[in-house]
Amino acid sequence: MDKTVLITGVSKGLGKALALEFKKNGFNVCGVSRTKPDFEIDYHITADLTVKRDIQKVYDTFFERFNKIDVLINNAGIGLYESWKDTKEQDLRKLCELNFYSYVFLTQKFLNHLIKTQGTIINVSSVAGKLYVPYMGAYCASKYALNAFSDSLRVELKPFKVHVLNLIVGRINTGFSSRALGSLEPPKTPFNASSQKFAKTVYKAYQKKKREITYPLWYKYFILLAKLFPSIYDRISLSSWEKSKNPRK
Ligand SMILES: NC(=O)c1ccc[n+]([C@@H]2O[C@H](COP(=O)([O-])OP(=O)(O)OC[C@H]3O[C@@H](n4cnc5c(N)ncnc54)[C@H](OP(=O)(O)O)[C@@H]3O)[C@@H](O)[C@H]2O)c1
């Protein structure tokens, strides 16, 4: 197979799991992050995706090495745990730069090339983009925006046969929370899915040209129930934070 995938946020977590899965399936893997991955990868580009000129650098450097792109996986993201009252402007801007604008700008950069290969864009979104969570409102807003981007983009790109797969991801133990912005510690959860299984599920969904998947699947029913009974959901989500709303250590 001569297919190439570009994955952002490749140095750790879900990006790393996706890189290993696509490599296992014969892809040339090119990854982007600020720090180098601790595993073998075909090509790594050091870039900060919140900096506009670094997006141009990713594009230029990618095409110095590869002559085409088949799959773009926008994955790099960061959390923010803070009340709206205390959310700092600089944190909100940094969050949106990475979780939303970098997805849009990188997609725009590579779009003509994805049209040539009739490729796929995979956006890593979150359950928090379907269901608001108190003290995570800014993060939710960035992922709600991302879902709107993915869904409208999918329709616009249909005539060009470019596919868009949107990933609604629940808690997976990657250390994501420990790297988040903001001063609060999120509630602990006993549910922590595996990043390897996540990557396998994504690969299958990519092959089947799915529009959207929820991983782990049970979150899909949870979202539905929360939408059917919003007052109950509000009470439960607030009380889970009230129990554990501590400053981050
Ligand atoms: N883990 C979960 O429970 C969960 C749940 C729902 C959705 N998600 C979403 O899944 C995606 C990946 O999350 P994860 O759990 O894998 O997080 P993670 O383990 O913290 O990894 C984040 C990746 O993004 C990179 N990154 C961070 N800031 C960057 C920047 N400014 N420029 C370039 N790269 C940057 C990091 O590398 P460097 O630090 O080396 O730059 C790292 O490779 C995110 O979009 C997140 O919102 C995660």
Residue 244 confidence (pLDDT): 63
Tens-level pLDDT at each residue, the chain (249 residues): 799 999 999 999 999 999 999 999 999 999 999 999 999 999 999 999 999 999 999 999 999 999 999 999 999 999 999 999 999 999 999 999 999 999 999 999 999 999 999 999 999 999 999 999 999 999 999 999 999 999 999 999 999 999 999 999 999 999 999 999 999 999 887 777 999 999 999 999 999 999 999 999 999 999 999 999 999 999 999 999 887 656 665
**Closest atom, ligand 1, to C-alpha of 143:** 47
Beta pairing partners, 72:
6, 121
Total domain count, the chain: 1
Q: 14 CB less than 6 Å from ligand 1?
A: yes
CATH number for the domain harbouring residue 197: 3.40.50.720
Which DSSP symbol is given to 172?
B
Task: Return the H-helix or E-strand segment holding 72.
Answer: strand 71-74
Hey, whose CA ends up nearest to atom 25 of ligand 1? 9
Q: Is 134 left (phi over 0), alpha (psi -120 to 50) or beta?
A: beta
| Backbone dihedral region for residue 36 (phi beyond 0: left; psi -120 to 50: alpha; all else: beta) | beta
Which residue is it, tokens 């990868």?
41
CA 128 to ligand 1: nearest atom: 6
Residues 6 or more apart whose Cβ sits within 8 Å of residue 133:
139, 140, 237
Q: Give the residue numbers annotated as catalytic, written as ranges.
A: 139, 143
* Minimal-distance CA residue to ligand 1 atom 7: 126
66: containing domain: 4-247
pLDDT on residue 190: 74
| Pocket lining: 31 vs ligand 1, CB cutoff 6 Å | no
- For residue 153, the CA-to-ligand 1 centroid distance in Å is 22
Give this prediction's pTM: 0.97
pLDDT for the residue numbered 9: 98
Q: Is the CB of 166 under 6 A from ligand 1?
A: no
